[in-house]
Chains A and B, each alone.
Chain A
Amino acid sequence: MDIVVPIKQVPETSNVKMDPKTGTMIRDGVETVVNPLDLFAIETALRLKEAHGGTVTALSMGPKGAEKALREAIAMGCDGGVLVSDRAFAGSDSWATSYTLSQAIRQMGRFDLIVAGERATDGDTGQVGPGIAAWLDLPLATYVAAITRVDPDEGRLTVERLVEEGYQVLELPLPALLTVVKEIAAPRLPMLRGKKRAKAAEVPLYTAATMDLEPAFLGLKGSPTRVVKVATPKVTRGGTVVQAKDAEAVAGAVDRLLAFLDARDLLPHDGAPAGGAAAEQAGGRP
């Protein structure tokens, strides 16, 4: 099975800084990593390859530095990486990103499966995976928590999607696109051998000039959305903090908590959950 894994390079989450003027992230001097949720996609692809043969190719669109993410993916066991990078792609929203990536995938050639992350921890939209599926008209399963059956000869997969009601069980034909959640598999660490291979690997570069692209669909100009304002929400809520060191203090603290909840109408209402399904059905909720 030949698998493509789109991965994004993102800033390490714990120290994100924003430029208050432009509303964009300050990327200089910030440690970057492979989007942590994409590691589950890489792991999923590697396990499928181990069980059924084939290749795994990581694909990333971003600044030249995103090559580092691809080498990390190769160190984990991917066979290769493709970097999609050009000034013309800067400022792409999820619409333009999924267009550009889908054109890169077409150019990469034949594949059986695309496995993407559920969402990127910086943009945090989760839109690029379904967007690529739409561009390439591939059957789509999002939030995949388990692949329970693979039939490579028939070219079919059975997967379980984590949805609000439990797990939806789906059967889909290949080629297809999956986005996966953490539950699917614990990502492996790169091994020394992999790191050596990663260092030596050739990472092909796709640019606007080498790709077949509609210029009007690229970058900021090709993005239907515009960020018009960025604000930093208050981080602290200035809440009350009470001490509960001994039994007496615990009782007092719980007293105050109950009074606090009561004032916000958050105490459980006799039997019925606060504004839950029952209230909804009865049609009464202020």
Chain B
Amino acid sequence: MSFVWTLAEQHEGRLKGVSFELLGRGRALADALDTKLASVVIGDGVDAAQLEALVHRGADEVYAIQDPRLASFTCETYSNLLVHLIKTYQPSVLLAAATSTGRTLMPHVAVRVHTGLTADCTELAIEPGTGQLLQTRPAIGGNIMATIKTPDHRPQMATVRPKSSRPLPADPTRVGKVIAVPLDDFLVDDRVRVTGYRRDALDFVNLEEAEVVVAGGRGMKKAEHFDLLRDLADAWGGAVGATRDAVDRGWLGYPHQVGLSGKTISPRLYIGAGISGAIQHLAGIKTSDTIVSINSDPDASLHKVADFGIVGDLFDVLRELRRRLQERREEGPS
């Protein structure tokens, strides 16, 4: 069997959006290889409708391993389980999201099944002729794109950057098999115990999964001014990001930091205000779909990588933008 597998991710019983993005990727690969696409769900409390949604978005088969002991991610048990499944079914390709879970679990599993793993891919394709997976990823802070193969080991494993592709539209006429797989006791490793989640109410942000990120840098001048960015981000249902400089000044918490020593993001739209565009910041945003830069310095590096740049005072520009978006909302859809 030469299946393509994707690993679906869940939190508290809800599948994450990235699970559907992976299926879009996986579908294209499975079609090119003329094989089946399976989605593996490890978790607890994911309901039948959601499992069916995986089929509607491209899966031929769904393996659902659900158990209260799988509710929260712990690397050891998840890894035992995934290694067991891989050895049993021998998929040829395995994709997971480049999230905190995928980036922890996949390297652990790759070591144990003795295969290669390419991190943080933005492009995946099947090489004509050989049928091998071509895994392309930005490396060295986005300065190069490297294409990597795993010629002699299986499965060919990759983590894929969230938001680097769109999910397929749901097709309710698609049919597939949903297979419940029990969790065998011998796979449970209880050395690590998850005791809960601490959510920082003020500072909680899911930057990697935001479609729109509005980010601010030293040019924002003060913590209070970030309210302006928050208003804008809210208009899109997006998130607020920051440069290291802004975080180091205590204007926003570290979870907001974007770049080399912060998060790597690929939103559909990134707006940067008062950000010079240092190479370490660019490393985190280069794979954004659309980049907008607002900076009074015409020579700012961020303007050079932007699709749309405004040279001017960010406060004037952002206030005007906020006013105009508000107007549009009040006018209602045209």
Contacts and interface: CB of A to CB of B under 8 A. Distances in A.
A225 B147 CA distance: 10
Contacts, number: 313
Contacts of B191: 139, 172-173
Interface residues of A, number: 102
Given A164-B206, A283-B170, A13 B280 contact: yes
A128 to B, nearest CB: 8
Interface residues of B, number: 112
A278 B317 CA distance: 29
Interface in B99-157: 99-101, 103-112, 114-120, 134, 138-153
B292 interface: yes
Contact of B312 (A229, A236, A245, A268): A245
A125 B119 contact: yes
Contact of A16 (B79, B140, B237, B268): B140
Contact of A134 (B111, B236, B306): B111
A228 B147 contact: yes
Contacts of A233: 138, 142, 144-145, 286
B265 to A, nearest CB: 12
B197 interface: yes
B317 A140 contact: no
A270 B325 CA distance: 10
Contacts of A127: 103, 106-107, 110, 117, 119
Interface in A88-144: 93-95, 98-99, 121-131, 133-135, 139-143
B167 interface: yes
A229 B119 contact: no
B60 interface: no
B211 A226 contact: no
Contacts of A256: 308
Interface of B: 11, 16-17, 20, 53, 56, 72-76, 79, 99-101, 103-112, 114-120, 134, 138-153, 166-167, 169-170, 172, 191-200, 204, 206, 208-209, 211-212, 235-238, 253-255, 257, 260-262, 268-269, 279-280, 283, 286, 290-292, 298, 303-313, 316-317, 320-321, 324-325, 328-329, 332-333
Interface of A: 13-14, 16, 18, 23, 25, 36-37, 93-95, 98-99, 121-131, 133-135, 139-143, 145, 158, 160-173, 181-183, 223-233, 235-237, 239-245, 247, 249-251, 253-254, 256-258, 260-261, 264, 266-278, 280, 283-286
Given A126-B103, A239-B305, A283-B172, 19 more contacts: A125-B120, A129-B107, A130-B105, A130-B107, A133-B108, A134-B111, A142-B103, A165-B197, A169-B197, A171-B195, A183-B255, A226-B150, A245-B311, A247-B316, A249-B312, A258-B324, A274-B268, A283-B53, A286-B166
23 contacts: A13-B279, A95-B117, A122-B140, A124-B139, A127-B103, A130-B111, A131-B111, A158-B195, A162-B254, A173-B191, A225-B117, A226-B151, A235-B304, A244-B312, A244-B316, A253-B312, A268-B235, A268-B236, A273-B211, A274-B211, A274-B212, A274-B269, A283-B56
